[in-house]
Amino acid sequence: MIYKKNKLILDGFDVVYLGKKYKTPLYCYSLKKIKDNIQKLKTNFKKINPLICYAVKANANLSILKEIKNNNLGADVVSIGELIRAIKAGIKPKKIVFSGVGKTSAEIEYAITKNILLINAESKSEILEIERIAKLKNKIVNIGIRLNPNTDAKTLSQISTGKKENKFGIDQKVFLQLVNYSKRSKYLNLKCLSVHIGSQILSHKPYQDMLRVVEKVVKRSDHKFEYVDLGGGMGINYDNNNNKLDLKKYSKKIEEFLKKNDCKIIFEPGRSIVGNSAILITKIIYIKEGTKKDFIILDAAMNDLIRPALYGAYHRIIPTKKTKKITNKIYEFVGPICESTDTFTTVKKYQKLNEKDFLVICDVGAYGTSLASNYNLRPKPIEILIKGSKIQIIKKRQKISELM
């Protein structure tokens, strides 16, 4: 995104033009950005040659999934819905891993029928359930077991998953018992150790700690894991400063691990592939002047983008037309929903805004639309994808009639 003659341009398109043509709130994705992000991962982890399984939960739009498939990625799914969608997008079952702490019998059965690469189990009960269904079907099922490495990902507490107080994964002691159990089973083929310590991780250090634990557990288990699935979590830069995860350093640590452990690495990145690929274009409905600050009331709300309300997450909001008139007022950007948490961010210094102006909420490609809802009976927004010089509508705006 750049300003040309003070107008905000995304991949050659004037953002105001897009807002007027498709109406707001409008999610707009850049295919170029998605491809660049995938390429960046492939380049930085070239020496590791991982199987990259895109975490569908970050953005499950079918057209986006098809593009991801066209770039030869696999998928990490966490529900039968995501699994069906990934297969529909053309992703080969042999490149799909299934994660999650509460897979139902129906979900396990479906995954077994589809012969996916791995079901990553997260409890003893789940392993027994997979074994029971495998026996019924007289099939040998490839599984992974998710280790809880008790590693602090040093990210938002709400999106941290690798500490012992989190519900995810299995602690070392039980993990080792389950390895022994699975090895003896006629219906289970234990192929993978998986971990995922959290999301929006910006330092390689937590990953380094995690790898140390993984290495220790692999050694203790005395089992040849064909795969080690390191999960996702690679953070992106929401602040426009230079604080970003050093992928090269992370790669180096994995290379050291691979020297001692011969296995194939799997990644499950979501945010790092789609996070910065989209903007949410919104229009100012009203400006409500307050005593301490002015409320900039947008037509986008927490039902369209819940990250700020849910995690206190920060998304930059930038003008679509730059002017030099700076206001000395404090602006709070809010949505129209009847909740005090329906607020995006507050700024102290900003250019003077007017009602009907278009604004852009940045970096909303991951966990934007996938967490969107119909709260307050608001229809879900339209989504478009810029593909070179073309624009594809990849999700129509929901009609009010569909909600009735």
Maximum CA extent, the chain: 73
Judged by beta carbon, residue 101 or residue 391, the one nearer ligand LLP is 101
How far apart CA 95 and CA 264 sit, in angstroms, is: 13
Q: Which of residues 29-68 bind ligand LLP (CB under 6 A)?
A: 55, 58
Q: Please identify which residue in 24, 123, 148, 199 interacts with ligand LLP, judged by CB under 6 A.
A: 199
How far apart CA 195 and CA 388 sit, in angstroms, is: 37
Judged by beta carbon, residue 164 or residue 186, the one nearer ligand LLP is 164
How far apart CA 92 and CA 74 sit, in angstroms, is: 7
Stretch that binds ligand LLP, among 79-87, 137-145, 184-192, 230-238 (CB under 6 A): 230-238
**By the rule CB under 6 A, 268 interacts with ligand LLP:** yes
Query: Of 313, 307, 270, 273, which is closest to residue 99 (Cα–Cα)?
Result: 270
Stretch that binds ligand LLP, among 1-9, 134-142, 228-236, 380-388 (CB under 6 A): 228-236
DSSP secondary structure of 142-206: EEEEEB-------S-GGGB--STTSSSSB-HHHHHHHHHHHHH-SSEEEEEEE---BSSB--HHH
**By the rule CB under 6 A, 200 interacts with ligand LLP:** yes
Contact letters for ligand LLP, residues 298-327 (x by CB under 6 A): ---------x---x----------------
Q: Please identify which residue in 19, 25, 162, 232 interacts with ligand LLP, judged by CB under 6 A.
A: 232
Helices (H), 225-323: 247-260, 271-274, 307-311
Contact letters for ligand LLP, residues 155-194 (x by CB under 6 A): ----x-----------------------------------
Q: How many CB atoms lie within 10 A of CB 257?
A: 20
Q: How many CB atoms lie within 10 A of CB 100?
A: 20
**By the rule CB under 6 A, 270 interacts with ligand LLP:** yes
How far apart CA 113 and CA 111 sit, in angstroms, is: 5
**By the rule CB under 6 A, 234 interacts with ligand LLP:** yes
Judged by beta carbon, residue 50 or residue 269, the one nearer ligand LLP is 269
Sign (positive/negative) of CA torsion 199, 203, 209, 211? positive
Q: Please identify which residue in 320, 367, 372, 394 interacts with ligand LLP, judged by CB under 6 A.
A: 367
Judged by beta carbon, residue 298 or residue 366, the one nearer ligand LLP is 366
* Pair 297, 287: CB distance under 8 Å: yes
Judged by beta carbon, residue 15 or residue 366, the one nearer ligand LLP is 366
**Which residues make Cβ contacts (< 8 Å) with residue 318, sequence separation at least 6?**
8, 359, 360, 362
Query: Of 99, 95, 204, 93, which is closest to residue 147 (Cα–Cα)?
Result: 99
Judged by beta carbon, residue 158 or residue 180, the one nearer ligand LLP is 158
Please confirm, yes or no, whether 338 is among the known catalytic residues: yes
Count of positions on this chain that bind ligand LLP (CB under 6 A) = 21
**By the rule CB under 6 A, 77 interacts with ligand LLP:** no
**By the rule CB under 6 A, 99 interacts with ligand LLP:** yes
How far apart CA 268 and CA 259 sit, in angstroms, is: 22
Judged by beta carbon, residue 287 or residue 371, the one nearer ligand LLP is 371
* Pair 45, 37: CB distance under 8 Å: no
Q: Please identify which residue in 56, 60, 76, 211 interacts with ligand LLP, judged by CB under 6 A.
A: 76
Give the residues lining the site for ligand LLP (CB under 6 A). Answer: 55, 58, 76, 99, 159, 196, 199-200, 231-234, 268-272, 307, 311, 366-367
Supply the residues annotated as catalytic: 338
